[in-house]
Structure 1
Amino acid sequence: MQKDQLFTRRRMLLAGTAALGAAGTAGIVLAGGGEPARTAAPVAGPQARQQLKSSAFRLQPLTGYGPPRAAPRKPKVRHEPILRISGRGRQMMLTFDDGPNPAYTPHILDTLAKYDVRAMFFVCGECVVDNRELLARMADEGHVVGNHTWTHPLLTSLNRKEIRSEMERTSDVIEDSYGERPQWFRAPYGAWNRAAFQIGSDLGMEPMAWTVDTTDWETPGTGTIIERVEDGAAPGVVVLSHDAGGDRSQSVKAIREYLPHLLDSGYHLTVPPRRLT
Protein backbone atom coordinates (compact mmCIF):
# COMPACT_ATOMS: atom_id res chain seq x y z
CA MET A 1 0.00 0.00 0.00
CA GLN A 2 2.77 2.45 0.90
CA LYS A 3 4.51 1.73 -2.43
CA ASP A 4 1.26 2.38 -4.38
CA GLN A 5 0.72 5.63 -2.50
CA LEU A 6 4.30 6.73 -3.21
CA PHE A 7 3.94 6.06 -6.94
CA THR A 8 0.60 7.92 -7.00
CA ARG A 9 2.24 10.92 -5.33
CA ARG A 10 5.12 10.84 -7.80
CA ARG A 11 2.75 10.70 -10.76
CA MET A 12 0.82 13.72 -9.46
CA LEU A 13 4.01 15.70 -8.89
CA LEU A 14 5.39 14.71 -12.27
CA ALA A 15 2.23 15.70 -14.09
CA GLY A 16 2.27 19.18 -12.56
CA THR A 17 5.97 19.97 -12.77
CA ALA A 18 6.51 18.48 -16.22
CA ALA A 19 3.58 20.50 -17.54
CA LEU A 20 5.21 23.68 -16.24
CA GLY A 21 8.58 22.72 -17.70
CA ALA A 22 6.98 21.97 -21.06
CA ALA A 23 4.90 25.15 -21.23
CA GLY A 24 5.05 26.61 -24.69
CA THR A 25 6.45 23.48 -26.29
CA ALA A 26 4.31 22.99 -29.35
CA GLY A 27 5.67 19.66 -30.52
CA ILE A 28 8.62 17.89 -32.03
CA VAL A 29 10.36 18.05 -35.38
CA LEU A 30 11.69 15.11 -37.35
CA ALA A 31 14.67 14.97 -39.62
CA GLY A 32 13.96 14.25 -43.28
CA GLY A 33 12.67 10.85 -44.30
CA GLY A 34 14.71 8.00 -45.67
CA GLU A 35 16.50 4.97 -44.34
CA PRO A 36 16.93 4.48 -40.58
CA ALA A 37 19.84 6.43 -39.13
CA ARG A 38 22.69 4.15 -38.08
CA THR A 39 25.15 6.71 -36.76
CA ALA A 40 25.08 9.42 -34.13
CA ALA A 41 23.09 12.60 -34.73
CA PRO A 42 24.94 15.55 -36.32
CA VAL A 43 26.57 18.20 -34.18
CA ALA A 44 25.47 21.79 -34.56
CA GLY A 45 27.96 24.59 -35.07
CA PRO A 46 31.57 24.01 -36.10
CA GLN A 47 31.22 20.23 -35.81
CA ALA A 48 28.28 20.03 -38.23
CA ARG A 49 28.28 17.14 -40.70
CA GLN A 50 31.21 15.46 -39.00
CA GLN A 51 30.92 11.82 -37.98
CA LEU A 52 30.75 11.36 -34.21
CA LYS A 53 32.76 8.72 -32.42
CA SER A 54 31.21 6.16 -30.08
CA SER A 55 32.22 5.96 -26.46
CA ALA A 56 33.74 2.79 -25.07
CA PHE A 57 31.16 2.69 -22.28
CA ARG A 58 29.83 -0.80 -21.58
CA LEU A 59 27.91 -2.33 -18.73
CA GLN A 60 27.60 -6.00 -17.84
CA PRO A 61 24.17 -7.64 -18.14
CA LEU A 62 22.12 -8.81 -15.21
CA THR A 63 19.63 -11.67 -15.16
CA GLY A 64 15.99 -11.71 -14.15
CA TYR A 65 12.87 -10.04 -15.46
CA GLY A 66 10.12 -8.04 -13.84
CA PRO A 67 6.42 -8.98 -13.76
CA PRO A 68 4.25 -8.70 -16.89
CA ARG A 69 3.08 -5.17 -17.75
CA ALA A 70 0.01 -3.79 -19.44
CA ALA A 71 0.50 -3.07 -23.13
CA PRO A 72 1.34 0.65 -23.64
CA ARG A 73 -0.21 2.89 -26.25
CA LYS A 74 1.80 2.56 -29.46
CA PRO A 75 3.11 5.64 -31.26
CA LYS A 76 3.66 5.37 -34.98
CA VAL A 77 6.81 3.60 -36.16
CA ARG A 78 9.35 6.18 -37.30
CA HIS A 79 12.22 5.77 -39.73
CA GLU A 80 14.50 8.37 -38.14
CA PRO A 81 14.82 9.60 -34.55
CA ILE A 82 13.56 12.98 -33.41
CA LEU A 83 16.44 15.45 -33.46
CA ARG A 84 14.96 18.74 -32.35
CA ILE A 85 12.12 20.30 -30.40
CA SER A 86 9.88 22.99 -31.80
CA GLY A 87 7.92 25.81 -30.29
CA ARG A 88 7.81 29.53 -30.02
CA GLY A 89 10.78 31.45 -28.75
CA ARG A 90 14.27 30.37 -27.78
CA GLN A 91 13.66 26.87 -26.46
CA MET A 92 16.31 24.20 -25.92
CA MET A 93 16.50 20.88 -24.14
CA LEU A 94 19.29 19.38 -22.03
CA THR A 95 19.63 15.59 -21.99
CA PHE A 96 21.92 13.30 -19.99
CA ASP A 97 22.75 9.68 -20.86
CA ASP A 98 24.06 6.52 -19.21
CA GLY A 99 23.06 7.14 -15.58
CA PRO A 100 22.06 7.40 -12.95
CA ASN A 101 25.34 7.56 -11.06
CA PRO A 102 25.49 8.54 -7.37
CA ALA A 103 28.79 10.39 -7.83
CA TYR A 104 27.57 12.77 -10.56
CA THR A 105 23.80 12.68 -11.10
CA PRO A 106 22.91 14.34 -7.76
CA HIS A 107 25.17 17.31 -8.53
CA ILE A 108 23.53 17.79 -11.94
CA LEU A 109 20.11 17.56 -10.32
CA ASP A 110 21.20 20.13 -7.73
CA THR A 111 22.19 22.60 -10.45
CA LEU A 112 18.96 22.06 -12.37
CA ALA A 113 16.98 22.60 -9.15
CA LYS A 114 18.91 25.78 -8.35
CA TYR A 115 17.73 27.35 -11.61
CA ASP A 116 14.30 25.62 -11.66
CA VAL A 117 15.09 23.87 -14.95
CA ARG A 118 13.80 20.50 -16.19
CA ALA A 119 15.88 18.07 -18.26
CA MET A 120 15.69 14.58 -19.77
CA PHE A 121 17.67 11.64 -18.41
CA PHE A 122 18.12 8.56 -20.61
CA VAL A 123 18.96 5.88 -18.08
CA CYS A 124 20.42 2.39 -18.27
CA GLY A 125 18.43 -0.24 -16.39
CA GLU A 126 21.49 -1.75 -14.79
CA CYS A 127 22.36 1.60 -13.24
CA VAL A 128 18.81 2.14 -12.04
CA VAL A 129 18.63 -1.00 -9.89
CA ASP A 130 21.24 0.35 -7.47
CA ASN A 131 20.10 3.99 -7.62
CA ARG A 132 16.32 3.91 -7.57
CA GLU A 133 16.15 6.89 -5.24
CA LEU A 134 17.65 9.09 -7.95
CA LEU A 135 14.80 8.24 -10.32
CA ALA A 136 12.32 8.98 -7.54
CA ARG A 137 13.97 12.39 -7.17
CA MET A 138 13.77 12.98 -10.93
CA ALA A 139 10.05 12.24 -10.78
CA ASP A 140 9.50 14.54 -7.81
CA GLU A 141 11.39 17.39 -9.50
CA GLY A 142 9.63 17.11 -12.86
CA HIS A 143 12.40 15.69 -15.04
CA VAL A 144 11.60 13.30 -17.88
CA VAL A 145 13.21 9.86 -17.80
CA GLY A 146 13.84 7.92 -21.00
CA ASN A 147 14.98 4.40 -21.85
CA HIS A 148 18.66 3.91 -22.83
CA THR A 149 18.64 0.08 -22.70
CA TRP A 150 19.78 -2.19 -19.88
CA THR A 151 23.49 -2.69 -20.67
CA HIS A 152 24.20 0.04 -23.26
CA PRO A 153 24.92 -2.34 -26.19
CA LEU A 154 25.28 -1.56 -29.87
CA LEU A 155 21.74 -2.44 -30.92
CA THR A 156 22.68 -3.01 -34.55
CA SER A 157 24.72 -6.02 -33.41
CA LEU A 158 21.78 -7.68 -31.61
CA ASN A 159 18.84 -9.74 -32.81
CA ARG A 160 15.24 -8.65 -32.25
CA LYS A 161 14.79 -10.77 -29.12
CA GLU A 162 17.89 -9.27 -27.52
CA ILE A 163 16.87 -5.73 -28.42
CA ARG A 164 13.42 -6.24 -26.92
CA SER A 165 14.93 -7.63 -23.72
CA GLU A 166 17.28 -4.65 -23.39
CA MET A 167 14.45 -2.17 -23.86
CA GLU A 168 11.61 -3.92 -22.05
CA ARG A 169 13.55 -4.70 -18.88
CA THR A 170 14.64 -1.08 -18.69
CA SER A 171 11.08 0.20 -19.11
CA ASP A 172 10.00 -2.13 -16.29
CA VAL A 173 12.63 -0.92 -13.81
CA ILE A 174 11.95 2.72 -14.75
CA GLU A 175 8.27 2.24 -13.97
CA ASP A 176 9.11 0.62 -10.64
CA SER A 177 11.45 3.45 -9.63
CA TYR A 178 10.07 6.54 -11.40
CA GLY A 179 6.36 5.77 -11.19
CA GLU A 180 5.62 5.78 -14.93
CA ARG A 181 6.75 3.85 -17.96
CA PRO A 182 9.09 5.82 -20.24
CA GLN A 183 7.67 7.44 -23.35
CA TRP A 184 11.07 8.14 -24.93
CA PHE A 185 13.94 5.97 -26.07
CA ARG A 186 17.51 6.71 -27.16
CA ALA A 187 19.71 4.13 -28.85
CA PRO A 188 23.21 3.82 -27.38
CA TYR A 189 25.83 5.48 -29.61
CA GLY A 190 23.00 6.85 -31.77
CA ALA A 191 22.99 3.50 -33.63
CA TRP A 192 19.43 2.94 -34.83
CA ASN A 193 17.94 0.23 -37.00
CA ARG A 194 14.48 -0.85 -38.10
CA ALA A 195 14.07 -3.30 -35.22
CA ALA A 196 14.87 -0.59 -32.64
CA PHE A 197 12.24 1.74 -34.10
CA GLN A 198 9.61 -1.00 -34.30
CA ILE A 199 10.22 -2.44 -30.84
CA GLY A 200 10.38 1.01 -29.31
CA SER A 201 6.97 1.77 -30.80
CA ASP A 202 5.61 -1.56 -29.53
CA LEU A 203 6.74 -0.54 -26.03
CA GLY A 204 5.07 2.87 -26.30
CA MET A 205 8.19 4.99 -26.87
CA GLU A 206 9.25 7.68 -29.33
CA PRO A 207 12.89 7.73 -30.52
CA MET A 208 14.89 10.78 -29.42
CA ALA A 209 18.38 11.63 -30.68
CA TRP A 210 20.15 15.02 -30.34
CA THR A 211 21.37 18.07 -32.20
CA VAL A 212 24.49 19.08 -30.26
CA ASP A 213 26.90 16.52 -28.79
CA THR A 214 29.19 17.87 -26.08
CA THR A 215 31.35 14.70 -26.45
CA ASP A 216 31.91 15.04 -22.71
CA TRP A 217 32.59 11.30 -22.58
CA GLU A 218 36.01 12.15 -24.04
CA THR A 219 36.67 14.41 -21.00
CA PRO A 220 37.84 17.25 -23.29
CA GLY A 221 37.96 19.77 -20.45
CA THR A 222 35.27 21.77 -18.70
CA GLY A 223 35.90 24.82 -20.85
CA THR A 224 35.50 22.83 -24.06
CA ILE A 225 32.18 21.38 -22.92
CA ILE A 226 30.92 24.86 -22.03
CA GLU A 227 32.05 26.20 -25.40
CA ARG A 228 30.30 23.41 -27.32
CA VAL A 229 27.01 24.02 -25.55
CA GLU A 230 27.13 27.80 -25.88
CA ASP A 231 28.33 27.74 -29.51
CA GLY A 232 25.65 25.21 -30.43
CA ALA A 233 22.82 27.00 -28.63
CA ALA A 234 19.89 27.77 -30.92
CA PRO A 235 16.10 27.44 -30.86
CA GLY A 236 15.05 23.80 -30.96
CA VAL A 237 18.45 22.34 -30.06
CA VAL A 238 18.70 19.11 -28.06
CA VAL A 239 22.01 18.90 -26.16
CA LEU A 240 23.61 15.53 -25.37
CA SER A 241 25.71 15.16 -22.22
CA HIS A 242 26.40 12.29 -19.80
CA ASP A 243 26.00 11.79 -16.07
CA ALA A 244 27.63 8.33 -15.93
CA GLY A 245 29.82 5.92 -17.89
CA GLY A 246 33.10 7.39 -16.71
CA ASP A 247 34.50 10.44 -14.94
CA ARG A 248 31.78 13.07 -15.38
CA SER A 249 33.22 15.70 -13.05
CA GLN A 250 33.81 17.98 -16.06
CA SER A 251 30.15 17.68 -17.04
CA VAL A 252 29.11 18.55 -13.48
CA LYS A 253 31.30 21.66 -13.49
CA ALA A 254 30.29 22.66 -17.02
CA ILE A 255 26.53 22.80 -16.38
CA ARG A 256 27.13 25.12 -13.44
CA GLU A 257 28.61 27.59 -15.93
CA TYR A 258 26.63 27.19 -19.14
CA LEU A 259 23.14 26.85 -17.60
CA PRO A 260 22.96 30.36 -16.11
CA HIS A 261 24.55 31.71 -19.30
CA LEU A 262 21.82 30.10 -21.44
CA LEU A 263 19.11 31.48 -19.17
CA ASP A 264 20.66 34.96 -19.20
CA SER A 265 20.76 34.74 -23.00
CA GLY A 266 16.99 34.27 -23.09
CA TYR A 267 16.76 30.51 -23.61
CA HIS A 268 13.95 28.51 -22.05
CA LEU A 269 15.15 25.02 -21.08
CA THR A 270 12.21 22.69 -21.52
CA VAL A 271 11.17 19.03 -21.71
CA PRO A 272 8.66 17.31 -24.02
CA PRO A 273 5.03 17.42 -22.97
CA ARG A 274 3.73 14.20 -21.49
CA ARG A 275 1.79 12.10 -23.97
CA LEU A 276 -1.73 11.15 -22.99
CA THR A 277 -2.20 7.38 -22.67
Structure 2
Amino acid sequence: MLAGLVAEGRLGRKTGQGFHTYPGARRTRDKVVFLTFDDGAERDPRFVDLVRELRLPVSMFLTDSVVGPGYAHFGRLRAVGASVQNHTLDHPYLPSLPYAGQRAEICGQQDKLKQRFGIRPRLFRPPYGAYNHDTLGAAADCGVAAVVLWSDRERLRPGDILHCPEGQHGTSLTKATTNLLRNIQEQGYTVARLEDYL
Protein backbone atom coordinates (compact mmCIF):
# COMPACT_ATOMS: atom_id res chain seq x y z
CA MET A 1 0.00 0.00 0.00
CA LEU A 2 2.89 2.34 0.72
CA ALA A 3 4.94 1.23 -2.29
CA GLY A 4 6.70 4.00 -4.14
CA LEU A 5 6.62 6.25 -1.12
CA VAL A 6 10.37 6.65 -0.63
CA ALA A 7 12.23 8.86 -3.08
CA GLU A 8 15.54 7.63 -4.41
CA GLY A 9 18.36 9.33 -2.53
CA ARG A 10 19.53 12.38 -4.43
CA LEU A 11 22.28 14.68 -3.34
CA GLY A 12 20.93 18.18 -3.03
CA ARG A 13 22.71 21.35 -4.03
CA LYS A 14 25.67 22.17 -1.84
CA THR A 15 25.07 25.24 0.28
CA GLY A 16 28.73 25.89 0.99
CA GLN A 17 30.48 26.15 4.32
CA GLY A 18 28.09 28.73 5.78
CA PHE A 19 25.69 28.08 8.63
CA HIS A 20 22.02 27.78 7.67
CA THR A 21 18.61 27.77 9.29
CA TYR A 22 15.64 25.96 7.77
CA PRO A 23 12.38 27.29 9.25
CA GLY A 24 10.24 24.38 8.07
CA ALA A 25 11.05 23.63 4.46
CA ARG A 26 13.98 23.11 2.17
CA ARG A 27 13.43 24.82 -1.15
CA THR A 28 13.19 22.22 -3.90
CA ARG A 29 11.07 21.48 -6.94
CA ASP A 30 11.03 17.78 -6.13
CA LYS A 31 7.73 16.53 -4.69
CA VAL A 32 9.38 15.30 -1.52
CA VAL A 33 8.92 15.80 2.19
CA PHE A 34 11.19 14.91 5.10
CA LEU A 35 10.28 12.95 8.25
CA THR A 36 11.79 14.08 11.54
CA PHE A 37 11.17 12.83 15.08
CA ASP A 38 12.12 14.56 18.33
CA ASP A 39 13.25 13.70 21.84
CA GLY A 40 13.50 9.90 21.85
CA ALA A 41 10.83 9.10 24.44
CA GLU A 42 9.01 6.49 22.38
CA ARG A 43 10.92 3.34 21.55
CA ASP A 44 8.44 1.18 19.65
CA PRO A 45 10.39 -1.84 18.29
CA ARG A 46 7.91 -2.15 15.40
CA PHE A 47 9.03 1.29 14.24
CA VAL A 48 12.51 -0.14 13.59
CA ASP A 49 10.86 -2.80 11.41
CA LEU A 50 8.86 -0.14 9.54
CA VAL A 51 11.97 1.92 8.82
CA ARG A 52 13.84 -1.19 7.65
CA GLU A 53 11.03 -2.64 5.52
CA LEU A 54 10.20 0.63 3.73
CA ARG A 55 13.83 1.82 3.72
CA LEU A 56 12.25 4.91 5.22
CA PRO A 57 14.61 7.89 5.55
CA VAL A 58 14.01 9.44 8.95
CA SER A 59 15.97 11.93 11.05
CA MET A 60 15.89 11.46 14.83
CA PHE A 61 16.63 14.60 16.89
CA LEU A 62 17.60 13.18 20.28
CA THR A 63 17.59 14.70 23.76
CA ASP A 64 19.93 12.90 26.15
CA SER A 65 17.77 13.27 29.29
CA VAL A 66 14.74 11.90 27.41
CA VAL A 67 16.51 8.98 25.72
CA GLY A 68 18.09 7.94 29.02
CA PRO A 69 18.94 4.24 28.84
CA GLY A 70 17.27 3.89 25.43
CA TYR A 71 20.26 4.63 23.20
CA ALA A 72 20.44 0.99 22.06
CA HIS A 73 17.05 1.40 20.35
CA PHE A 74 18.39 4.35 18.35
CA GLY A 75 21.48 2.33 17.50
CA ARG A 76 19.14 -0.22 15.91
CA LEU A 77 17.40 2.58 14.00
CA ARG A 78 20.77 3.87 12.76
CA ALA A 79 21.63 0.36 11.62
CA VAL A 80 18.56 0.35 9.34
CA GLY A 81 19.23 3.81 7.91
CA ALA A 82 17.88 6.45 10.31
CA SER A 83 20.06 9.46 11.00
CA VAL A 84 20.72 10.74 14.51
CA GLN A 85 20.79 14.49 15.11
CA ASN A 86 21.04 16.91 18.07
CA HIS A 87 18.11 18.15 20.21
CA THR A 88 20.14 19.23 23.34
CA LEU A 89 21.03 17.45 26.56
CA ASP A 90 18.01 18.47 28.65
CA HIS A 91 15.40 20.07 26.32
CA PRO A 92 15.48 23.60 27.83
CA TYR A 93 13.91 26.73 26.40
CA LEU A 94 17.22 27.96 24.96
CA PRO A 95 16.50 31.72 24.68
CA SER A 96 16.22 31.83 28.48
CA LEU A 97 19.83 30.66 28.83
CA PRO A 98 23.00 32.73 28.38
CA TYR A 99 25.34 31.83 25.54
CA ALA A 100 27.47 29.58 27.76
CA GLY A 101 24.43 27.61 28.90
CA GLN A 102 23.20 27.16 25.34
CA ARG A 103 26.64 26.07 24.21
CA ALA A 104 26.81 23.52 27.04
CA GLU A 105 23.44 22.06 26.02
CA ILE A 106 24.30 21.81 22.32
CA CYS A 107 27.98 20.83 22.54
CA GLY A 108 27.21 18.45 25.39
CA GLN A 109 24.77 16.52 23.21
CA GLN A 110 27.22 16.60 20.30
CA ASP A 111 29.74 14.92 22.63
CA LYS A 112 27.20 12.36 23.92
CA LEU A 113 26.18 11.35 20.40
CA LYS A 114 29.84 11.09 19.37
CA GLN A 115 30.45 8.77 22.35
CA ARG A 116 27.37 6.67 21.62
CA PHE A 117 27.46 6.44 17.83
CA GLY A 118 30.84 7.74 16.69
CA ILE A 119 29.29 10.69 14.83
CA ARG A 120 28.97 14.41 15.48
CA PRO A 121 25.59 15.51 14.10
CA ARG A 122 25.47 18.17 11.40
CA LEU A 123 21.89 19.18 12.22
CA PHE A 124 20.35 20.71 15.32
CA ARG A 125 16.74 21.33 16.30
CA PRO A 126 16.16 23.70 19.22
CA PRO A 127 13.56 22.52 21.73
CA TYR A 128 10.13 24.10 21.10
CA GLY A 129 11.56 25.58 17.90
CA ALA A 130 12.79 28.51 20.01
CA TYR A 131 16.15 30.10 19.36
CA ASN A 132 17.97 33.43 19.35
CA HIS A 133 21.26 34.85 18.11
CA ASP A 134 23.19 33.09 20.90
CA THR A 135 21.65 29.75 19.90
CA LEU A 136 22.88 30.11 16.34
CA GLY A 137 26.35 31.12 17.51
CA ALA A 138 26.55 28.25 19.98
CA ALA A 139 25.34 25.72 17.42
CA ALA A 140 27.93 26.89 14.91
CA ASP A 141 30.65 26.78 17.57
CA CYS A 142 29.62 23.19 18.37
CA GLY A 143 30.13 22.11 14.76
CA VAL A 144 26.50 22.14 13.66
CA ALA A 145 25.95 23.04 9.99
CA ALA A 146 22.23 23.86 10.14
CA VAL A 147 19.35 24.57 12.50
CA VAL A 148 16.26 22.72 11.31
CA LEU A 149 12.68 23.53 12.36
CA TRP A 150 9.47 22.11 10.87
CA SER A 151 6.31 22.87 8.95
CA ASP A 152 2.81 22.53 10.41
CA ARG A 153 0.89 22.66 7.11
CA GLU A 154 -1.79 20.07 6.40
CA ARG A 155 -1.48 20.59 2.63
CA LEU A 156 2.07 19.63 1.79
CA ARG A 157 4.49 21.66 -0.29
CA PRO A 158 7.74 20.45 -1.85
CA GLY A 159 10.52 20.30 0.72
CA ASP A 160 8.33 20.40 3.84
CA ILE A 161 10.13 19.20 6.95
CA LEU A 162 7.57 17.28 8.98
CA HIS A 163 7.65 17.00 12.76
CA CYS A 164 6.15 13.54 13.05
CA PRO A 165 3.72 12.75 15.85
CA GLU A 166 4.80 10.33 18.47
CA GLY A 167 2.13 7.85 19.47
CA GLN A 168 -0.81 9.71 20.96
CA HIS A 169 -4.12 8.65 22.48
CA GLY A 170 -3.17 4.98 22.58
CA THR A 171 -1.75 4.98 19.04
CA SER A 172 1.77 3.62 18.67
CA LEU A 173 4.53 5.52 16.88
CA THR A 174 4.38 2.90 14.13
CA LYS A 175 0.65 3.39 13.59
CA ALA A 176 0.89 7.20 13.74
CA THR A 177 3.73 7.14 11.19
CA THR A 178 1.85 4.73 8.90
CA ASN A 179 -1.15 7.09 8.94
CA LEU A 180 1.11 10.03 8.12
CA LEU A 181 2.72 8.09 5.26
CA ARG A 182 -0.69 7.38 3.74
CA ASN A 183 -1.50 11.09 3.88
CA ILE A 184 1.83 11.93 2.21
CA GLN A 185 1.17 9.39 -0.53
CA GLU A 186 -2.41 10.60 -1.08
CA GLN A 187 -1.06 14.10 -1.68
CA GLY A 188 1.34 12.79 -4.32
CA TYR A 189 4.57 13.15 -2.36
CA THR A 190 7.44 10.82 -1.52
CA VAL A 191 9.75 10.82 1.48
CA ALA A 192 13.39 11.77 1.00
CA ARG A 193 16.42 11.92 3.26
CA LEU A 194 16.70 15.41 4.73
CA GLU A 195 20.49 15.32 4.80
CA ASP A 196 20.60 14.74 1.04
CA TYR A 197 18.87 18.09 0.43
CA LEU A 198 20.76 20.34 2.82
TM-score, normalization by structure 2: 0.81
For structure 1, the 5+ residue unaligned runs are: 1-19, 30-73, 214-230
Cα distance, 1:172–1:100 mapped onto 2, change above 3 Å: farther
1:83 aligned counterpart, secondary structure:
coil
Equivalent residue runs for 1:27-46 within 5 Å: 27=13
Gapped regions of structure 2 (runs ≥ 5): 1-5
1:174-213 pair list within 5 angstroms: 174-205=113-144, 206-212=146-152
* Aligned partner (choices 162, 171, 180) of residue 258 of structure 1: 180
How much has 1:95 moved relative to structure 2?
0.7
Q: 1:109 aligns with which of 42, 45, 48?
A: 48
Q: Is the 8 A contact 1:149 1:188 kept in 2?
A: yes
Counterpart in the other structure of 1:11: none
Indicate the RMSD between aligned Cα atoms, in angstroms: 3.0
Of 99, 103, 109, which aligns to 2:40?
Answer: 99
The aligned residue for residue 239 of structure 1 is: 162
**Secondary structure of the structure 2 residue equivalent to 1:138:** helix
Alpha-carbon distance change, 188 to 212 in structure 1, aligned in 2, over 3 angstroms: same
- Is the 2:51–2:81 Cα contact (8 Å) retained in structure 1? no
Distance 1:176 1:97 in 2: 20
Structure 1 or 2, whichever has the larger Rg, is 1
Code of the aligned partner of 2:31: R
Deviations 1:93-114 (A, max 9, x none): 0111111433x4x333332333
What's the offset of the Cα at 1:84? 1.2
The number of residues matched between the two structures is 191
Distance 1:248 1:124, change over 3 A: farther
Paired with 1:243 and 1:185, the residues of 2 have a C-alpha distance of: 19
Hey, what does 1:271 align to over in structure 2?
193
Structure 1 residues 243, 179: closer, same or farther in 2, change over 3 A? farther
Runs of 4+ in 1 over 4 A off after TM superposition: none
Aligned-pair CA distance for 1:91: 0.7
Q: Does structure 2 retain, via aligned residues, the 8 Å contact 1:135–1:177?
A: no
**Aligned residues: percent identity?**
24
1:93 maps to a residue whose letter is F
Q: 1:133 aligns with which of 34, 49, 72?
A: 72
Per-residue Cα deviation, 1:110-160 (whole angstroms, up to 9, x for no partner): 323332211111110123441121221222112121111111110011111
After TM superposition, the structure 1 = structure 2 runs for residues 147-226 of structure 1, keeping only pairs within 5 Å, are 147-205=86-144, 206-212=146-152
Structure 2 CA distance for aligned equivalents of residues 209 and 248 of structure 1: 26
Q: Write the letter of the residue equivalent to 1:101.
A: E
Counterparts in 2 of 1:77-92, with a 5 A limit? Answer: 77-78=19-20, 80-92=21-33
Measure how far apart 1:241 and its partner are.
Answer: 2.4
Q: Give the direction of change, closer, same or farther, for the CA distance of 1:188–1:28 in structure 2 (3 Å limit).
A: farther
Counterparts in 2 of 1:190 and 1:126: CA distance versus 1, 3 Å: same
- Shift of the 155–177 alpha-carbon distance from structure 1 to 2, 3 Å rule, reads same
